[in-house]
Each structure stands twice: as structure tokens, then as C-alpha cells.
Amino acid sequence: MSPKTQERLLYLASPIGLLLLWQLLLMAGIGDRRFVPAPSDIALRYWQMLASGELIYHSAVTLYRVFAGFFIGIVPAIAAGLLMAMFRPVRIFFDPLIATLFPIPKIALMPLLLLAFGFGDASKVALVVIAVFFPVVVNTYVGAANIEKIYWDVARNFGASQAVIFRRIVFFGALPMIFAGLRIALAVSFIVLVAAEFVATKAGIGYLIWNSWELLQVDVMFVGIVTVGILGLIATVILQEIERLVIPWKSE
């Protein structure tokens, strides 16, 4: 066995071991299967819900809200971050706002957003927009502000206008950090959205989790939790692939 295969096996050992232990303990009669379903129970329920289309429906609703909010949120965040790095007054203007609003748990804004946008998708999308904005704006700003001085020198020496510096130097120079921000933002959007779906909605994975808890369908609840993890994983892998295509100069 090559060292690489060994590493891969080791990589899988902890989650598989944990699931195995969980299954065996319940099969041995330790723990109440009505409250703590075994992995096999969850897998079975998962399959049933997938086959009935119920899981697909809730997943689609959640994904729609995540991606709508994600894309609406990152565009102004990237623009604001770049402008902050380029223009001191913009930075001075935005800095206190970000410092104040970033630490507020975004889920705390949910009642406010329900007032403003109602009980439909709009309030959930708005929450994701707000949650996504902060990590992306901060990462973009840091990435753009730390572009090596020599690139500015070259650009100025070659007579580049502010617009050219913005489009061809600052944006691309900040791109690796922007993607680091997007990864955080993606995780954050799932976190806030699932929490938001606990209330005031009749669809989405968050609703599925909360509703099954109220009905004491613990296995369904676990299916919801597992689904959030799987959706997050797939979205992150897709984002990493996009990053690889968009940043071909980042070889490592």
C-alpha cells in the first residue's frame, strides 16, 4: 500500500469509525432508538424521502434562497472592498459601519426582515445577502490593500488610468483573497438560512429539521442535518473548481 493510499484510508477512518460505533452501541441496546436513531435508520429514511421527492423539494427551496442571496450579496461586497482599497475616503466612510455591523448575529435581524419583506422567500434571501456581505467585503479589502507595491509602480509607470488599475490590477490581485471570502460566505449563508427557516416558512431544509423535531420524528431531523452538510460540501467543491478556472496563475 502506497503512503498516499494509507493517508486516504486514515482520512476516512474517523468518520466511518464514528458511524460504526454509533450503530453498534444502538444495536447493543445502549440508548433509545426512538430518540437517537441509528445511522442505518437515518440512511433508510434518507432514501425514502429522496424517492418520494420530499427531500428534493426542500433542498431546492433552500438552494434557491442560498444562491439568490449569495450572488446578490457578493457583487456589492466585492465592489465595496475594492473601492475601499483604492480610495481612502471610501475606506474611512465604510470602516465604522463594518466594524459595528459585522459582529451582530445576522439571524437577529430576521424579525426586522420579516417586517420589511414579509414571510416569503424575499426575507430569507435578504438575510443571506446581509450575512454574505461582511466576510466578502473584508476579505476583498484586505486582498486589494495588500497587493504588492511593485504592481502599482508598474501600472503607474506604464501610464495606467485609475479605471485600468481597478479592473486589471486591483481586482485580479485581490482575487485569491476574494475567493477565500467567498468560501466563508458560502458556509455562513447555509448557517444563517437554515436557522431562518426554523420560523415563518413552510419549506426548506431548516423547516424540515424544525418541523420534524416538533413532531418528534428524530430520524427525519437527522436527514435534514445530513442534507445541509451534503449540500454545503457540494457547493464548496463547485466553488473550488470555479476558483481553479478563474485563477489559473495560482499553481499550487
In the complex, the residues that contact other proteins under the rule CB under 8 A are 150-151, 153-161, 164, 168-169, 172-173, 175, 247-249, 251
Closer residue to other proteins, CB minimum distance, 33 or 167: 167
Cα 231 to the chain's mean position, in Å? Answer: 10
9-25 per-residue burial string, b: 16 or more CB within 10 A, e: under 16: eeeeeeeeeeeeebeee
Least spacing, CB of residue 149 vs other proteins, in Å: 10
Using alpha carbons, list the distances in angstroms from residue 244 to 176, 179, 219, 241. Answer: 10, 10, 38, 5
Closer residue to other proteins, CB minimum distance, 4 or 149: 149
Q: Considering just the CA atoms, what is the radius of gyration of the chain in Å?
A: 22
Least spacing, CB of residue 17 vs other proteins, in Å: 40
Closer residue to other proteins, CB minimum distance, 8 or 167: 167
Least spacing, CB of residue 142 vs other proteins, in Å: 17
Least spacing, CB of residue 179 vs other proteins, in Å: 13
CA distance linking residue 212 with residue 27, whole number of Å: 23
Closer residue to other proteins, CB minimum distance, 33 or 156: 156
> The C-alpha cell of 22 is what?
454509533
**Contact present, 145 and 85 (Cβ < 8 Å):** yes
**Contact present, 11 and 3 (Cβ < 8 Å):** no
Least spacing, CB of residue 238 vs other proteins, in Å: 22
Q: Which amino acid is at 207?
A: Y
Closer residue to other proteins, CB minimum distance, 160 or 191: 160
CA distance linking residue 53 with residue 79, whole number of Å: 39
Least spacing, CB of residue 86 vs other proteins, in Å: 16
Closer residue to other proteins, CB minimum distance, 94 or 172: 172
- Residue 75 backbone dihedrals phi, psi, to 5 degrees: -65, -55
